[in-house]
Structure 1
Amino acid sequence: MTIKFPPVPAGLLARCKPWILSPLAGALGGGLAQLLGWPLPWMIGALLGVAALRCLGCLTLPMPHGIKVGQWIIATGIGLHFNPAVLEQILAHLGLVLVGTLLTVLTCVIGIVLHRRHGESFATAYFASMPGGASEMVNLGRPHGAELQHVAASHSLRMMLVLVGIPAIYTWLFASGQAATVTHPGPDAGWLALLFVLGGLVALVFQRWRFPNAWQLGALLVSGLFSVAFDLHIGLPNGAGEVGQWLLGSSLGCHFERSFFRRAPAFMLRTLLATVAAVLLAVPIALLMSWVSGLDARTLVLGMVPGGIAEMSLTAEALGLVVPLVTAMQVLRLLLVLFLARPVFRFWSGRAMQEGGAG
């Protein structure tokens, strides 16, 4: 006997087709990564699963609002790591942390020099090398004539290298005997409901004001402030963090496809070299800062590598490091880049034009 299934309505298929495979590939990749014991399995596995699907020719799109919801969940959980004692420690060394963060931002000069030596325009080399987000640097580079595809590709590759490489290296070097000592406080439904609602409202305001990563910064601000003000000792429910990682990883994986890896291979190789150099330079800076301040060097390195707020903070959480310090340094770096990138570019390009005219 043959079983006949009712036909799928064409309209429903058309609505689901552009994005429905992204969360499925992300879930498959995340589940496989967890079975293999990867660090941050539901983020890295989801990213690689969706990227692999797109490289096979299925150009599925990100889930609608998936990255916003993922940032909302993860940032709320990260903010709950803040407490008065940790905040006091950060403020006591704020000057040193700011100097260290500024030094890591200056490592972008490596990428600028590499790209300029091989014929890229100053605008393309500059905005492709800034350790900020892809969308923000594309928007800043557009009015200055930067090659936007190169800028976006450079930041996407840097994000993938740091996200895949740093957690794996840290887990290999430092996780032995430490993961079992990490304790996670339990959830409190009332507080969490309040934090999610207020965090979402602040994120909407930030989004209206065109802040970068509005849902991440809004939820992080509310959760961190309430956690410090009321000395909360709560956490997300079991599995909530993994859901946030899955949503974020599935969306980030949509940045990649076969043409991405074929596009300007020499440019991409220079981006890889500049990223590795920036990470390696962060190590001696972190060791010096640790010697001066007594802060944990492993935490300082995570705070200074050119990664993302969520990715590096989750790595710190998985290894039992000082999550608020990593978060504070990553937020500082983002703010420094966003506020200084455009005026520094204008000053630097203006000086170059004056010297060219004088010559």
Structure 2
Amino acid sequence: MSPTRSKLLSIAIAAICGAAMSRLGLPLAWVIGPMVSTAILSLSGRVVFADIRARRTGQILVGAAIGLKLTASSLSGLWLWVPVAVILNFGALWVALLFGRLFARWLSTDTVTGYFAMVPGGLSEMSNVAAAEGGTMEIVAIVQALRVACTVCILPPLLLWLDLHGTFSSSLSTSSLGWTGLGTVLAAGGAGAWGARLLRMNNPWMIGALVGAACLSVGGLISGELPRLLFWLGQMMIGMTIGARFKPVHLRHIGRQLPKAITLILSMMALTAVIGTVFARVSGFDPASSVLAISPGGFSEMATTATTLHLNVALVTVFHVVRAFIINGFSAVFWRKFGA
């Protein structure tokens, strides 16, 4: 099969899996379905669709959709919790250092590779920084992809099973944006992404689009939701991008040690869930939103889960934006000072 046909086939299968999981009522269906199907195809050696422009488009769509969920009232009291988010995310680096040393011992690899494999940062960023610091890029790449995949596949269904829905968006308009409103939101999201990229921010497409759309929503200039089809399409592009990171060459570097790596990832998830539950008790926020805010999952996936389950999107967004700055910006500095 030609590469073009193989890519088109991967898109078709991803769409079918996303639709099937959506029909089953699973949260984050349009991320999980495409992610799993693309990962299976990629690991089988097939060429899959993983265009960077599609990923960025997906991030802009999802970022804009989440930004529309934010209001002035929902953000007003959260600035008081930004210092807590800073402390917890610097704490995440210490947790990564601890789990990284366990990773290195269990999987017989070097500590720099173990550390960057466990840091809950950007998938591409952690792999590249690890290589620059002398780590094994392939191991970091597959473990980072596993971290996001495990969190996405376990946490949202678990919250649904526990019936931890919220009422965060009940006061917002649930009507779909008209053509004029849609054009305005996408233009604002695109401008925000462009500005964030000029500022060299981490994950500029997602964060910039979110800020651009949120400015319209917070200012009362736009009210409504992104059309579901576009929201699903954005999630699908993100899911396929994660799935495409599972490559046979990466698995060969970790081999039979894969169960140990997954055990460490699940242990880290459990620890952050405990911390999130404690934070909920102290802060008064609901447990599900707090766990999502502190979880080691990716920003887009966790914020999308909060949006889908009507949880506190603002809380999850603020904590993960702070993480994007701290983890991606200071993980290498932290390693040189405390880990090397």
| TM, length-normalised to structure 1 | 0.85
**Residue 188 of structure 1: CA displacement?**
4.3
**Residue 44 of structure 1: CA displacement?**
0.7
For structure 1, the 5+ residue unaligned runs are: 1-12, 353-359
1:264 aligns with 2:264: no
> Which of residues 180, 197, 200 is equivalent to 2:190?
200
Matches within 5 A, 1:72-151: 72-118=60-106, 119-151=108-140
**Residue 175 of structure 1: CA displacement?**
4.9
Match of 1:36 in 2: 24
Tell me the amino acid that sits aligned with residue 98 of structure 2. Answer: I
**Given the superposition, is the C-alpha separation of residues 168 and 40 from structure 1 closer, same or farther in structure 2, using an over 3 Å criterion?**
same
Structure 1: 4+ residue segments shifted above 6 A = 176-183
**Residue 82 of structure 1: CA displacement?**
1.1
Contact 1:23 1:63 (C-alpha < 8 Å) held by counterparts: no
Matched residues in 2 for 1:229 and 1:176: separation?
27
Contact 1:100 1:289 (C-alpha < 8 Å) held by counterparts: no
The root-mean-square deviation of aligned C-alpha atoms, in Å, is 2.7
Tell me the amino acid that sits aligned with residue 31 of structure 1. Answer: A
Show CA shifts across 1:145-166 (max 9, x none).
1111111111011111111111
**Given the superposition, is the C-alpha separation of residues 184 and 269 from structure 1 closer, same or farther in structure 2, using an over 3 Å criterion?**
farther
**Residue 54 of structure 1: CA displacement?**
2.6
> Which of residues 217, 242, 249 is equivalent to 1:252?
242
Show CA shifts across 1:60-105 (max 9, x none).
2314511111111000000111111111121233333433343344
Matched residues in 1 for 2:66 and 2:300: separation?
8
Query: Identity, % of aligned pairs?
Result: 26
Matched residues in 1 for 2:169 and 2:207: separation?
30
Contact 1:104 1:304 (C-alpha < 8 Å) held by counterparts: no
**Given the superposition, is the C-alpha separation of residues 336 and 266 from structure 1 closer, same or farther in structure 2, using an over 3 Å criterion?**
farther
Show CA shifts across 1:291-344 (max 9, x none).
222111211100111111111111111211111111111111121112211211
Deviates more, 1:293-302 or 1:255-264: 255-264
| TM, length-normalised to structure 2 | 0.89
Matches within 5 A, 1:207-356: 207=197, 210-230=200-220, 232-349=222-339
Tell me the amino acid that sits aligned with residue 116 of structure 1. Answer: A
Contact 1:104 1:278 (C-alpha < 8 Å) held by counterparts: no
Quick check: which has more Rg, 1 or 2?
A: 1
Matched residues in 1 for 2:79 and 2:273: separation?
22
Aligned pairs, how many?
A: 338
**Given the superposition, is the C-alpha separation of residues 217 and 251 from structure 1 closer, same or farther in structure 2, using an over 3 Å criterion?**
same
**Given the superposition, is the C-alpha separation of residues 105 and 67 from structure 1 closer, same or farther in structure 2, using an over 3 Å criterion?**
same
**Given the superposition, is the C-alpha separation of residues 78 and 177 from structure 1 closer, same or farther in structure 2, using an over 3 Å criterion?**
closer
Contact 2:165 2:309 (C-alpha < 8 Å) held by counterparts: no
Contact 2:93 2:334 (C-alpha < 8 Å) held by counterparts: no
1:165 aligns with 2:154: yes
SS at match of 1:174: coil
SS at match of 2:162: helix
Matched residues in 2 for 1:341 and 1:228: separation?
32
